[in-house]
């Protein structure tokens, strides 16, 4: 996969100095001419957050020079986080370094989730179409409260919803219709969303592309606001 960022960023020194001063979200390195953004995949346990990163890593190995780091407790339960870094080259002369993380969805990893969300630039909320409505709703509420602990609001952050596991419909599984997920999760946010199958790869890359575009645009907007 040859990756290219969709949005442009000013490369002026003033921009970089200002961004260094802000430094709360995107990280700018003048010396190496790099911009780093941090994207975190959130959502209930077992919704398919790790599956997104696994799919990207295994289907586009040349795009990911570093190994996918996963920390699981036997089986597929993430206990700390998954981490997958990669670079989109030369966005107005700067390399855009993207760091993808997942949080562990299980209740007992509350503090870990909070820690991983520190400095986040963009969020993908992976909802599970095969779970109960309440499961997805509670996970979103948990995300809101963890972000407010960092003084951030989900409404103001770049956010993409991914409604996952729709391949299970082929096996006759009873799934939450995407209209239900939309009204339960996205009626007040009105953010972009994708019906997906992380296992089969449907809309996995589209989700990622969208959140990168939105996150880069947010960096650009912050620059415009302070310049």
Ligand X SMILES: Nc1nc2c(ncn2[C@@H]2O[C@H](COP(=O)(O)OP(=O)(O)OP(=O)(O)O)[C@@H](O)[C@H]2O)c(=O)[nH]1
Residue among 5, 28, 50, 212 that touches ligand X (CB under 6 A): 50
CB-wise, 78 or 197, nearer to Mg ion? 78
In the complex, the smallest distance separating the C-beta of residue 19 from ligand X, rounded to whole angstroms, is 32
- Please give the structure tokens belonging to residue 166: 């729709």
- Sequence-distant (6+) residues with CB within 8 A of 97 are 34, 35, 36, 37, 85, 86, 87
Which span sits near ligand X by CB under 6 A: 18-26, 71-79, 153-161, 207-215?
Answer: 71-79
Which span sits near ligand X by CB under 6 A: 6-14, 59-67, 159-167, 185-193?
Answer: 159-167
Distance (Å, whole) CA 115 – CA 148: 12
- Please give the structure tokens belonging to residue 84: 């997958």
Helix (H) / strand (E) element for 114: namely helix 110-117
Residue nearest to Mg ion as judged by C-beta position: 78
48: contact with ligand X by CB under 6 A: yes
Which span sits near ligand X by CB under 6 A: 30-38, 91-99, 103-111, 186-194?
Answer: 103-111
Which span sits near ligand X by CB under 6 A: 6-14, 21-29, 57-65, 195-203?
Answer: 195-203
- Could you list the beta-strand ranges (E) of 33-186: 34-42, 69-72, 78-91, 94-102, 122-128, 159-164
In the complex, the smallest distance separating the C-beta of residue 46 from Mg ion, rounded to whole angstroms, is 8
Contact between 76 and 47 under an 8 Å Cβ cutoff? The reply is no
142: contact with ligand X by CB under 6 A: no
102: contact with ligand X by CB under 6 A: yes
Select from 191, 207, 214, 157 the least CA-distant residue to 6: 214
In this structure, what are the phi and psi dihedrals at residue 130, rounded to the nearest 5 degrees?
-95, 0
Ranges within 36-75 binding Mg ion (CB under 5 A): 49-50
186: contact with ligand X by CB under 6 A: no
Distance (Å, whole) CA 187 – CA 193: 12
Residue among 112, 115, 144, 199 that touches ligand X (CB under 6 A): 199
**Residues of this chain that bind Mg ion (CB under 5 A):** 49-50, 78
């Amino acid at each position: 996969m040859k990756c290219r960022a969709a949005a442009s960023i000013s490369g002026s020194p003033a921009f970089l100095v200002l961004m260094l001063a802000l430094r709360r979200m995107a990280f700018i390195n003048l010396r190496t001419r790099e911009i780093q953004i941090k994207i975190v995949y959130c959502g209930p346990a077992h919704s398919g957050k790790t599956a997104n990163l696994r799919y990207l890593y295994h289907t586009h190995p040349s795009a990911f020079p570093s190994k996918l780091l996963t920390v699981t407790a036997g089986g597929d339960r993430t206990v700390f986080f998954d981490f997958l870094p990669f670079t989109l080259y030369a966005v107005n002369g700067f390399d855009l370094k993207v760091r993808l993380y997942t949080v562990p969805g299980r209740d007992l990893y509350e503090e870990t989730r909070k820690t991983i969300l520190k400095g986040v630039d963009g969020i993908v909320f992976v909802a599970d179409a095969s779970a109960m409505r309440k499961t997805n709703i509670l996970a979103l509420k948990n995300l809101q409260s963890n972000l407010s602990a960092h003084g951030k609001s989900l409404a103001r952050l770049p956010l993409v919803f991914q409604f996952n596991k729709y391949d299970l419909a082929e096996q006759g599984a009873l799934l939450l219709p995407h209209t239900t997920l939309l009204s339960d999760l996205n009626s007040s946010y009105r953010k972009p969303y994708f019906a997906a199958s992380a296992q089969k790869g449907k809309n996995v890359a589209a989700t990622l592309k969208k959140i990168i575009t939105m996150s880069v645009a947010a960096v650009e907007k912050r620059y415009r606001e302070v310049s």
